[in-house]
Structure 1
Amino acid sequence: MIVLKFGGTSVANAQNISKVIDIVTKKSKQNNLIVVVSALSGVTDLLHLAGSTAIKKDKTYLDIILKIETKHIETIQKLILPDEQNTLVNLINKEIAQLKILLDGCYLLGELTPKTLDRILSFGELLSSQIIASALKKVNINNSFVDSRNFIKTNAFFGKAIVDFNKTKILLTDYFSKNNNQISLFPGFIASTDDGNTTTLGRGGSDYTASILAYCLHASSLEIWTDVNGMFTANPKIVKQAKPIVSLSYQEAMELSHFGAKVLYPPTIQPVLNSNIPVWIKNTFEPNEEGTLIFNESVSNGNPVKGISHIEDISLVTIEGSGMIGITGSSKRLFEVLSLHNINVIFITQASSEHSICIGISNNDAEKAKLAIDNTFEIEINQNKINSCIVEKDLCIVALVGENMKNHQGLSGKMFGTLGKNNVNIRAIAQGASERNISVVIDKNDVKKALNSLHERFFEDNTKQLNLFVMGVGNVGEKFIDQIHQQKKYLRDNLKINMRVIALSNSQKMIFNEDGIPLNNWKSKMNNGEKANIKNFIHQVQKLNLRNSIFVDITANAEIASIYDKFLEKNIAVVTCNKIACSSKFENYKHLKNLSRKYNAPFLFETNVGAGLPIIDTLKHLIASGDKIHKIKAVLSGSLNFIFNNFSESFSFYDVVKEAGIQGYTEPNPKIDLSGIDVARKILILIRESGYEMEIEAIQNNSFLPEECLNTTNNDDFFNSLTKYASHFDSLLKEAKTKNSKLKYVASFENGKASIGLEFIPKESPFYNLEGKDNIVQFYTDRYVDQPLLIKGAGAGAAVTASGIFADIIRIGNV
C-alpha cells in the first residue's frame, strides 16, 4: 500500500485535479492506494477570512461564502459531465448551507471559538475530497470516500490537536481489514475527538494526515505531491540558484521543515520515522522528475550542509537581570508560562552567565508573551532584580542543516563570516547539541541577502555573484558594458565570478532588473527606461539589498561623487573613475575610507590615476608592506601628454585639443584637463594614499594657459580663446625646441609640498620618450632611493579606463 498526498496547489482547479487523476490512475495499476487531499488552493484562507469578518458584524462574510461556493461549483462543472453533476452539486450545497449556519452564529454572537473555527475550516477538505472522489469515478477509477474524522482521533486541543495513535490505529486497522478498496480517498487536515467534535491538525496538517495513515497501516511508502521538484537547498522563490536535494535523512528533513521549508509540514516525519517508511517529495506538474527521498540515512555528496532554511515573522523575547544568576527554576517558570498561554517557542539561547534567556516566537504571540512573562516575574521586576522583558519584532531565523555537519570544523565560522561580509547583523545564535543545525536570528530585511550569500558559499562551487549598479553609460561606460558582456563566460568558468548588471543610469534614463539586464540590447532598454533620479536610484539599490552589491560611478559628476556614503554605509561597494570624491576635502576622503572599513564595503578608485595602470594598487602594497613614500614625480594626464606629443608647427594647439576630445582622451569639458585641475586631483589622491594629509588648495598650480582661457565659461568660448592665443602656445613649442626638450605636464611631491605645471623635459629624463597618451609615475621610497619605482603605460582612453574599472570589480570578486 502507498499513501499519496496532494497539496492545495495540486488541487487548485479542475486543470490541476486532472493531473492528480493521471498520477493516481498510473499508480493504481500496481498498488492499493490511500489518497489524501488538501482544500482547493486559497479556500482555507477564505474560510479564515469569513470567520474573522463575521465576528466583526460585517455582512461581507456572505460574499465570501458565495465565493467559496462558486469556486467549488465551477470546478465541478469543468470536471464532471453535466448529467452527472446534480448529486455532487446538491452535496456541496448542503455543506455550504451548514457552513453558512455556523458563520451566521458567529455574526450574531460576535464570537469565534477555537472549536467553531476548526469546524469552519474543515469544510475546505471535506468539499475538495468529495469532488475529487467523484472525478476519479468519472474516469472509471473505483474509490471510496472515507471521512478522516471517523478514524483519526485526537484530544480537544482545537487548532492543533494531538493525535491518539492507539485509538486511531485500531480504528483504521479494523476498517481496512473489512474493506480492501483499491483506492481510499481521505480529506486531510481534519480529525475528531471521541465525542465527535471536529478538530484540525495544524496549518499544513494534510501532510500529517497522510503520515498518520502511512504509519497506522504500515504503508510501503508515503508520497507528498506538491508544486516543486522536492525539497530544495534553499527557498527557490528567494534563491534562484537553489537545487532539489536528492535525499535527506528523517532528522535532516525535520530540521529543514521546522526551520521553514514549507514543502513539508514539520510533524509529518515523526510517525513514518518510527516505522522506517520512506517519504518521497514529488512534483504534480513534473511527475517524472526524481524528487527528494527522505529515509533513515544521510547520504553525503561531500557537502556537510544539506540545506538552508528560514522562518519569517519572528520576535525575540529576552528576559535578563542579575536576579537570574544562580537562581534555580527561572527557566522553568519562563517556559511554563509560555506553555500555559499556548505560545510555541521556536528558538532558544541562554548566556552561560545565566544573566539572560532569549527565545524566538511568532510575531503574533509577541505581545501576549510579554504580558504573561512580565506578570510571572512581577515581583523580581519591581525589586529591580530582573528587567521587564524586551521584545524585538520583525526578525527571521536562518538555519544551516546537515546530518554530517558535526564532523566538519569551521562551518560556523564560514556561516558567520559570510553574513558578516555582507553586513548582515546576527541578533542571536543557537546550535543544537546534535550539531545538526546552526541557526541565527537576523533582521527580516536581510533575509534575501543572507540566504543568497549562504547558498553561494555552501552550494555554488564558490562562485560569487556580483551585482552591479552602474551610473554613467557614456563613452567609457559603453566600453565597460561591452567588456562585461564579452568576458562573462570567462569570469564564470575561470574566476568563479558571476557578474550581473542590475541597474544602468545616465542623466536622462535609468533601468533596473533584479535578475540582470540583458547586455545584448541594453541600449534599447535604456531608451524605454524610467526618468533618471538620483534619490530614486539610491532608494532602489538599498531596497533590493542584494549580496555583493557594487555601485559603479563612470561619471565626472560632483553630485554623484557626493552620494558614495549612502552606499558604503549599507555595505555596498563603490568603484569609481570619478576623481572628485577622493580629491574633495580631506575630511570627506577620510570619512569614505572609514565607512569602507566600518561596513566592510570596498571603496576602489584605481582609475582615478592612470586609467587602467596599477598605480594606486602598487602604492597600497608599498604602504601595506611598511615602505614610506618620500617623493613622487609623474606625468599623470594622458590627454595632456597626447596633446603635447602631437602639438607641432603643422598641427596647431587648437587642432590637437579638438582631436584629443574626439579620441575620448579629454573630459567633455577640456578645460578641466588643460587647466591642470585634473592633474592636481590625481597627485592629491596619490599623496593621500601615501599617508599624507593635504588639501587641493595646497598644490601649486603653474598654469600654462592665459588668464582669459581659464576664465571662459563654456566650451565654445574656451576653444575660441585657444585660437586667439595661438602665438602663446607656439612660443612654448619654440622654446622647447630651442632647449632640445619636450613639453610635458608634470606633477611633483617632495618634502610635504606639491606642484603641477608644464616643464621642459631634457633627453636624459625617462619622461622624454613618453609617447601618445601614456602616463608615467616615479615613487621614491625608503626602499627605492636611488632608482625610483617606475610605472608606465597608457593613461587615457575609454577602453583602458573601462578595463581599470573592470579590474577593480574583479578585485572585489576575488576577496
Structure 2
Amino acid sequence: MKVLKFGGTSVGSAKNINKVISILEQQSQDSKLAVVVSAVGGITDNLLDAGNLACSKDEAYLTHYNAIASTHKKVIEKLFEDFKTDKSSQKKHDELQKIVSKKLDGLKKLLDGIYLINELSPKTKDKLLSYGEMLSSTIIQKTLASRNLDVVLKNSQELITTDLNFNNAAVNFEITNANINTFFTSNANKIVVLPGFVSKSLTGELTTLGRGGSDYTSAIIAAATSAEELQIWTDVSGMFTANPKLVKHAKPITNLTYQEAVELSHFGAKVLYPPTVMPVLRKQIPIVIKNTLQPDAVGTTVSKEHKPNGQSPVKGISNIDHVALLTLQGNGMVGIPGFSKRLFETLAQEKINIILITQSSSEHSICFGISEHNALQAKTAIDTTFEYEIALKKIDPIIVETDLSIIAVVGDNMKSHQGISGKTFSTLGKNNVNIRAIAQGASERNISAVIHKNDVKKSLNALHERFFEVKTKQINLFITGVGNVGERLIDQIQQQQSFLKKNLQISLRIVGMSNSRKMVFKDDGINLEDWVSEFDFAEKSSINGFYKKAVEMNLRNSIFVDVTASEQVANIYSDYLKHSIAVVACSKIACSKDYETYKNLHDLSKKYNTPFLYETNVGAALPIINTLNNLVSSGDKVTNIQAVLSGSLNFVFNNFSDKNNFHDTVKRAQFEGYTEPDPRIDLSGIDVARKVLILARENGAAMEIEDIEVEPFLTKANLASTSVDDFYETLQQDEAHFQKLYASAEAKNCQLKYVAEYDNGKAKVGLQEIPEGHPFFNLEGKDNIVMFYTQRYPRQPLIVKGAGAGADVTASGLFADIIRIANN
C-alpha cells in the first residue's frame, strides 16, 4: 500500500482536484492507496479568522463564513460541470451539495455559538478548524466515487487517538496503530480518503495534531501499515537547494537522507514538517515529495540511503525567519552548576521551543534562539527565575535581540570534507553579513548562523553560489553617471556578457543606473539592449537616494561605479565601503583630496575587505597604478617618476603649431572629448597635479595637493577668466604668448610636453621643452607615458605607454577594475 498526502494547494481548486484524481486513477491500478487530504487552500486561515472575529463580537465573522461556504460550493459546481448531463452524476452532485450544506450549517451554528458566549477555547478551536479537512475529504471522496473509482471515506478521528492537549495533541501510538491496522486489514476498497490534521482523544473529544498535522497524519498511517512509500504532494517539485522564491538558481534535490530532510525542514524548508519524518524514519519508509501541478517531475526522495549530489557535500541551505536571540550572561555563572538546568526548565514550563543553542567555553554566557513572538514571555519568565542572582548582580537581566533569522547549511557528508565552515563564514564575511551566533554539532550535518533578517536573501544567494554554482559568480553593478563614458561602459558590458560567463565564469549584470535627472533599479538586472527606455518612467535621481537603494537591495558581490566628476558622489564612497559595496572610481576627487580622506578610504577597504579601485584616475585604461602597486608590493622602491599624464594636454600640444592657433586646438580637443567640459581644469595643470599626487601617495608619500609645485603656462588673463566662454576669449587675445612658447621649442628642435615629476618625496608639474631622442619626444595624439625609476630599474626605467584619454579607453579601464574585483 502507498500513502499519498495532498496539501491545501493541491486541493485548492476544481482544476487541481482534477489533477489529484488523475494521479489517483493512475496509481490505484498498481496499488491500494490511503489518501490524506488537507483543507482547501486558505480555508484554515479563514476558519481561524472567523472564529477570532466571532469571539470578539464582530459580525464580520459572517463574511468569512459566507466566503468559506461559497468556496466549497463553487469547487463542487466546477468538479461536476462536465458531467451534469449524466443523470447519475447530477444525482451525486446534488447529494454532495446536501452533505456539504449540512456540514456548513454545523459550522455556522458553531460560529454563532462562539459569538454568543464570546469565547474561543482551545477545545472549541479544534472543533472549528476540523471543518476544513472534513469538508475537503468529503468533496474529494464523493467526486472520486462519481468518476467510478473504488473509494471509501474514513474519518481519521476514528483512527488517531490522542491526549487532551488541544491544538497540538500527542498521539497515543499503541491505540492508534491498532485502530489503523484493524481498519486497513479489513478494508477492500482500492482508495481510502482520510482527512488530515484531525484526531480524537480517549474521552471522545475532537483534537488536532497542530502545525503540519496533515503530513503527520499521513506519516502515522504509513508507519502503522508499513506502507511501501509515503508521497507528499504539494505545489513545488520537491525540496530545493534553497528557497526558490529567494534564490532564483535553486534547484530540486533528488535524494536526501532522513536526517538531512529533518534538518532542512527544521530550518524553514516548508515542504516537509519535521515531526512528519519521525514515524516513517523508524520504519525506514521512503518519503517522496512531488508536485501535483507537475506530476511527471522527479521530485525528492527521502530515505536512509545517502546519495552524493556529485558537486558538494552540502545538500541544501535553509532559513528560519522571525527569530529572537536571548543571552543569559554574568560572571556569577562561571563554575557554578545548575544555571543551564534552571534556564531550560523555565522555558519548558512556558512551552517555549528552542531553535538554536550556543554556549561560551568560559561558561560566562548561554545564547539561544527562539521564535520572536515568544521573546517577551521568555524574558519575563527567565528574569523571574533568576531574580535573586540579578539583584545581587551575579548575572545580567536577559538580553533580547530581535529582527533576526537563522540560516543553515545542511548535508550528511559535510563532516568528511574539510573547509565547509570556512567557506560558509568567509562567504558571509565577504558580503558584510554580521553573524550574531553560530551553532554546529559534532556530526557537522548542520552549520547554523544567526544573522539580521535583512541579510537573508543576500546570504542564501551568496552561499548557494558558493556551494552549488561554483562555476559562475554573480556580480551586481550600480553605475552612476551614464554620460559619454558611462554609455561606453554599458555598451562594453553588454558586448562582453556572454564572453565573461563562458570564459571567466562571471555573470555580470547592472542592477542600478542613474544620470543627473533619473535613476532606475532592477533586482534581476536591467535589459542592456534597451536600457535607455528604462529611464522613461524612472524615479527622480538623488545621490543619497541612489546609495540608500543600493544598500536596501543588499545584493551579494555589489560594486558601485562612479562615472561622474561630482564631489558629492566622491564624498559617499566611504558609506558604500562600510556596507561592503566595492567602489570603482573614474573621478580623481576622492584620491586627490586631503591625505586623511585618501587614507581613510583605504583603511575602510581593508577593514571591510571591500575593494576600492581607481585605475582610470591616472592614464585612463593604462595599468599605471596597478604597475606601481605591484612594484611596491614586491619590495621595490620607486625613487623617481617622470610622466606625461594628460592625454588632453598632449593632444593639444601635438596639434598646436604656428599654423593651428591655440584657441582652435583647445576647441577641437574639447569637441572630440579629450578635455573636461571646462577645459581650464586640464590646461591649468591641476588635473596633472592630482594625478602625480595620487601616484606619490600610492608610493607611500603622505602628500597634499599644496605640496605639488605647479608651473602654469597659461597667462594671468587665462587663469583669471570667470567662465568657459571668457576663457576662450582670453585664449584668442593671448595667442602671441602661445606662439612664443611654440617658437622657442621649435627653434631648439624640441616638443612641448606637460610633464609631471616625482623625485624622492617632491613633486612638480609644468610645460617642458623635450629634446629629440627623449622617450617623451615622439609621444603622439592623446597618449600618456610614465617612466618609473626604481632600485630595480635605476638607469633604464620601467615604461608604461599608451592612450590616456577618450571615452572608450576610460570605459575599458573601469571595466578592467570591475573584472579585477569579480576575479578576486
Shorter-chain TM-score above 0.5: yes
Per the TM alignment, residue 147 of structure 1 is displaced from its structure 2 partner at its CA by: 1.4
- Identify the residue that residue 406 of structure 1 maps to in structure 2: 415
Q: Does 1:770 align with 2:779?
A: yes
Counterpart in the other structure of 2:157: 149
Q: 1:10 to 1:651 in 2, by over 3 A?
A: farther
Q: Is residue 2:483 matched to residue 1:474?
A: yes
The match for 1:69 is 69
Distance 1:701 1:198, change over 3 A: same
Q: Residue in 2 aligned with 1:49?
A: 49
CA distance in 1, matches of 2:609, 2:55: 52
Shift of 1:553: 0.7
Distance, in Å, in 1 between the alignment partners of 2:686 and 2:9 is 65
Distance in 1 (alpha carbons) for counterparts of 2:285 and 2:444: 25
| Alignment partners' CA distance in 2, 1:490 and 1:215 | 54
Aligned partner letter, 2:543: I
Partner residue in 2 for 1:261: 269
For residue 716 of structure 1, what is the amino acid of its counterpart?
Answer: D
TM alignment of 1:199-278, pairs within 5 A: 199-278=207-286
Q: Among 514, 520, 533, which residue is 1:511 paired with?
A: 520
Which residue identity does 2:610 align to in structure 1? A
Partners of 1:265 and 1:93 in 2: CA distance: 32
SS of the residue aligned with 1:72? helix
Q: Which residue is equivalent to 2:87?
A: none
| 1:497 shift after superposition | 1.0
Match of 2:724 in 1: 715
Equivalent position SS for 2:233 = strand
CA distance in 2, matches of 1:530, 1:328: 61
> Hey, what's the Cα distance between the residues in 2 that align with 1:773 and 1:114?
82
The answer as to 2:33 corresponding to 1:5 is no
Once the two structures are TM-superposed, the CA of residue 716 in structure 1 deviates from its matched residue by 3.0
Question: What's the TM-score, normalizing by structure 1?
Answer: 0.97
Q: Corresponding residue for 2:403?
A: 394
Q: What CA distance in whole angstroms lies between the structure 2 residues aligned with 1:260 and 1:670?
A: 60
**Which of the numbers 294, 300, 303 marks the counterpart of 1:286?**
294
CA contact 2:40–2:132 (8 Å) conserved in 1: yes
Q: What secondary structure is seen at the aligned counterpart in 2 of 1:392?
A: strand
1:697 deviation in Å? 2.5
Give the residue type in structure 2 aligned to 1:7: G
1:751-790 equivalent positions in 2, closer than 5 A: 751-790=760-799
* SS in structure 2 of the partner of residue 242 of structure 1: coil
Q: Which amino acid is 2:43 matched to?
A: V
Displacement of 1:577 in angstroms is 0.6
Give CA deviations for 1:411-433 in whole Å, capped at 9, x if unaligned.
11111111111111111111112
Aligned to 1:310: 319
Output the CA distance in 1 between the equivalents of 2:439 and 2:229: 34
Partner of 1:94: 102
Give yes or no for the alignment of 1:538 onto 2:582.
no
Q: CA deviation at 1:302?
A: 4.3
Q: Equivalents in 2 of 1:633, 1:679: separation in Å?
A: 12
Structure-2 separation of matches of 1:5 and 1:284: 10
How much has 1:810 moved relative to structure 2?
Answer: 1.0
What residue number does 1:162 align with?
A: 170
What's the CA shift string for 1:767-800, capped at 9, x where partnerless? 1111111111122333332333221111111111
User: How is 1:421-440 mapped onto 2 (pairs within 5 angstroms)?
Assistant: 421-440=430-449
Secondary structure of the 2:673 match is: coil
C-alpha separation between the residues in 1 aligned to 2:362 and 2:117?
51
Amino acid paired to 2:184: F
**Counterpart-to-counterpart distance in 1, 2:496 and 2:52:** 57
Question: For 1:550, what is the secondary structure of its paired residue?
Answer: strand
Matched, 1:27 2:27: yes
Counterpart of 2:685 in structure 1: which amino acid? G
- Could you report, residue by residue, the CA deviation over 1:365-405 in whole angstroms, capped at 9, with x for unpaired residues? 11111111111122222222222111111111111111111
Aligned to 1:444: 453
What is the correspondence of 1:118-197 to structure 2 with a 5 Å cutoff? 118-197=126-205
1:476 Cα offset (Å): 1.1
Bigger shift: residues 585-594 or 216-225: 585-594
Structure 1 CA distance for aligned equivalents of residues 206 and 690 of structure 2? 78
Q: Which of residues 486, 502, 508 in structure 1 aligns to 2:511?
A: 502
1:601 aligned to 601, 610, 618, which one?
610
Distance 1:182 1:729, change over 3 A: same
Structure 1: unaligned runs, 5 residues or longer: none
- Please list every run of 5 or more consecutive structure 2 residues that lacks an aligned counterpart in the other structure: 85-89
| Cα distance in 2, alignment partners of residues 693 and 145 from structure 1 | 85
Which of residues 418, 428, 432 is equivalent to 2:427? 418
Which 10-residue stretch deviates more, 324-333 or 246-255?
324-333
* Identity level (%): 57
SS in 1 for 2:252: coil
- TM-score where L is the length of structure 2: 0.96
| Comparing 655-664 and 4-13, the one that deviates more | 655-664
Whole-Å Cα distance in 1 between the matches of residues 779 and 103 of structure 2?
91
Q: Could you say if the C-alpha distance between residues 92 and 720 of structure 1 is closer, same or farther in structure 2, counting changes exceeding 3 Å?
A: farther
Q: Distance in 1 between matches of 2:597 and 2:111?
A: 65
How far off is 1:327 after superposition?
2.4
Asked whether the 8 Å contact 2:212–2:276 carries over to 1, the reply is no
The 3 A distance-change label for structure 1 pair 534 and 92 is farther
Amino acid at match of 2:797: P
CA distance in 2, matches of 1:34, 1:289: 22
Q: What is the alpha-carbon distance in structure 1 between the residues aligned to residue 618 and residue 591 of structure 2?
A: 11
Query: Aligned-pair distance for 1:109?
Result: 4.2
Q: Which range is displaced more, 28-37 or 260-269?
A: 28-37
Deviations 1:717-755 (A, max 9, x none): 333333332222222211110121101111122243322
Question: Whole-Å Cα distance in 2 between the matches of residues 544 and 577 of structure 1?
Answer: 24
* SS at structure 2 position matched to 1:578: coil
CA distance in 1, matches of 2:99, 2:736: 103
1:626 aligned onto 2:635: yes
Name whichever of 798-807 and 135-144 sits farther off.
Answer: 135-144
Shift of 1:519: 1.0
Deviations 1:551-599 (A, max 9, x none): 0111112221122122111111111111111111222222222221222
Q: Offset at 1:803?
A: 1.1
Distance (Å, rounded) in 2 between the aligned partners of 1:34 and 1:719:
91
Q: Is the Cα contact below 8 Å between 2:647 and 2:803 reproduced in 1?
A: yes
| 1:268 Cα deviation after fit | 1.3
Aligned to 2:350: 341
Task: Tell me by how many angstroms 1:668 deviates.
Answer: 2.2
**Does residue 667 of the first structure (1) align with residue 654 of the second (2)?**
no
- Classify the secondary structure of the residue corresponding to 1:263: coil
Contact 2:782 2:803 in 1 (8 A): yes
Aligned 8 A contact 2:311 2:468 in 1:
no
How far apart are 1:406 and its partner, in Å?
0.9
Counterpart of 2:496? 487
Whichever residue aligns with residue 471 of structure 1, its letter is: T
Deviation at 1:355, TM superposition (A): 1.7
Q: Does 1:113 align with 2:110?
A: no
Mapped to 2, the partners of 1:385 and 1:139 lie a distance apart of 72
Query: How far apart in 2 are the matches of 1:175 and 1:750?
Result: 97
Deviation at 1:249, TM superposition (A): 0.8
Secondary structure, counterpart of 2:757 in structure 1 = strand
Distance (whole Å) between structure 2 residues aligned to residue 339 and residue 496 of structure 1: 50
Deviations along 1:207-235, one digit per CA (max 9) or x if unpaired, are: 11111111111111111111111111111
SS in 2 for 1:163: coil
Task: Give the aligned residue type for 2:63.
Answer: D
Q: 1:787/1:111 Cα in 2 relative to 1: closer, same or farther (>3 Å)?
A: farther
1:765 and 1:426 map into 2 onto residues whose CA distance is 58
2:622 is equivalent to residue 613 of structure 1? yes
Q: Give the stretch that moved more between structures: 747-756 or 337-346.
A: 747-756
**Per-residue CA distance 1:151-194 (angstroms, 9 max, x = gap):** 11122222222222221111111112222111111111221211
- The answer on 1:328 being equivalent to 2:375 is no
| In 1: Cα distance, 2:713 partner to 2:152 partner | 99
Greater Cα offset, 134-143 or 67-76 = 134-143
